[in-house]
Amino acid sequence: MGIEIEDKFDVPPDYQVPDLSGLADPVRTTTYQLVALYYDTPDLRLARRGITLRRRRGGADPGWHLKLPAARGRLEIARPLTRSVKVVPEDLADLVAGYTRGADLQVVAELDTKRTAIRLGNLVEVADDRVKGTALGREPVRWREVEAEVLDGDEKLLAKVGKRLRKAGATPAAGASKLARLLEPQPLDRVVTKSGSAGEVVMDYLGTQVAAVLSQDPRVRQAEKDAVHQMRVASRRLRSALKAFKAVITGTDHLQDELRWLGQVLGEARDLEVMRARFAGHLRGLAPELLAGPVQARLGDDLHGREQQAHGRIREAMRGERYFALLDGLDRLLAEPELSKRAAAPATGTLRRAAAKGWERVTEAYDEAQAIEEPERLELAMHEVRKAAKRARYTAEALSPVLGKRMAGLASGAKAIQEVLGRHQDGVVAQETLLKEAEVARRAGEDTFTYGLLIGIERARAEQAHADFAGVWKKAGKKVAKSL
């Protein structure tokens, strides 16, 4: 698995690749034949999102290749060749399940490429490709193109190579890939909104968050670091936006419920990951003589085992119809949203009111909490304050690019409240977890001294956050007042 960073160029049939010596030495040239079968659903669900899945023979890297869009370049995942040309390896099929959503994968195209590869040391490779492409049910198409790809070099060298290729007559490729050039997949359906309108701002933001959910899907399936957290945040931001902008976009109650479900599915593994890292940090800070019994194993290996089981439940949910239906619903949200009359109004006034209402919910939740004396009910009420602050923060962050510094101030104030209340809640939850683990250890006849020590640390942290809250609330209130 690696990131593929390359530049593609369209060239005429008689194009002469320029002399590349001097950019890097030595320069080596190799010619070989590549034959690749490309797999997709009948309606090209992968190609429409810039994803390619192929089985390729020939060259230096024969095998199955899955290429996914990344922030820069594409993420390439490779697997060895298998005998079957009909059955996609199960793990690769699973990695694109968030896009195929139960539809069968089949061969949709074949590319037969004669490649002349020019290597500049081991830094950059320039591929001069003469391509014969055959889409299912169509006549073959022939063309020539040139690619320059980073191997073990950097993008500065890639830029120099590209400059020399363009000077010789190459032009930036019109298509993102050979497959896209051959199949010409239709773009994804997206609603058209009035420029500068509230609807445009809201739909652009929702589109960004939907893309974030989908981009994390393959990473979550592989249990990559921070992937669950990133998908969970994107789903929360989506749900928060649908609530905050209900005056602009309507009819999303069911989608909000399903996003809440997705957050819950992801939450168990994420919470265990955070808790395990939290306890590991505490234990590293303790003197060896304070580590009594197998506490490191229980708070490390045991929690890690539970985390892996939670990841298994995530993967099971992400292979199910409910998850696929949610993704279909997000696609429909972007293509056919129920926009209100306010969606056509100028963004500034309409969305500033939405941000102001978000902060009003925070202050209302706080006032309700202050009227409660019972500790358990007060704890729940302050949790509602935190949730309202998070929603206000997400709303303000969504609007900062349009409404500017004022929204940045609101977001900063709401974030400060969210974080101080989060520190308190994390400390309370950590104490509960430690009490349960200590009971398990006690029943096993183990020394529980260290658990008590950790509980004391967590209690002190929670109490400190509680003590800090009044100052944070006052400071945040002043900052938000200037913003609104």
Full pLDDT tens readout for the chain, 484 residues: 688 889 999 999 999 999 998 888 788 899 999 999 999 999 999 999 999 999 999 988 899 999 998 877 788 999 999 988 889 999 999 999 999 999 999 999 999 999 999 999 889 999 999 999 999 889 999 999 999 999 987 889 999 999 999 999 999 998 889 999 999 999 999 999 999 999 999 999 999 999 999 999 999 999 999 999 999 999 999 999 999 999 999 999 999 999 999 999 999 999 999 999 999 999 999 999 999 999 999 999 999 999 999 999 999 999 999 999 999 999 999 999 999 999 999 998 889 999 999 999 999 999 999 999 898 899 999 999 999 999 999 999 999 988 888 899 999 999 999 999 999 999 999 999 999 999 999 999 999 999 999 999 999 999 999 999 999 999 999 999 888 7
For CA atoms 444, 449, 453, 456, the dihedral sign is positive
Report the sign of the C-alpha dihedral through residues 186, 189, 191, 195, in that order.
negative
163 near 185, Cβ under 8 Å?
no
Spatial strand order of the sheet with 124-135 comes to 2-4, 74-79, 63-69, 52-57, 27-40, 106-120, 124-135, 141-150, 6-10, 171-172
Contact 346, 256 (CB under 8 A): no
* pTM of the entire predicted model: 0.90
**Dihedral sign for Cα atoms in the order 464, 275, 240, 255:** negative
Q: Which residues of 377-396 are buried (b: 16+ CB within 10 A; e: fewer)?
A: eeeebbbbbbbbbbbbbbbb
Residue 460 CB burial class (10 angstroms; 0-12, 13-18, ≥19)? exposed
Distance (Å, whole) CA 377 – CA 22: 73
**How far is it, in rounded angstroms, from Cα 197 to Cα 350?**
9
| Rounded-to-10 torsion of CA 424, 258, 394, 97 | 110
Give the per-residue SS3 of 164-214: HHHHCCCEECCCCCHHHHHHCCCCCCCCCCCCCEHHHHHHHHHHHHHHHHH
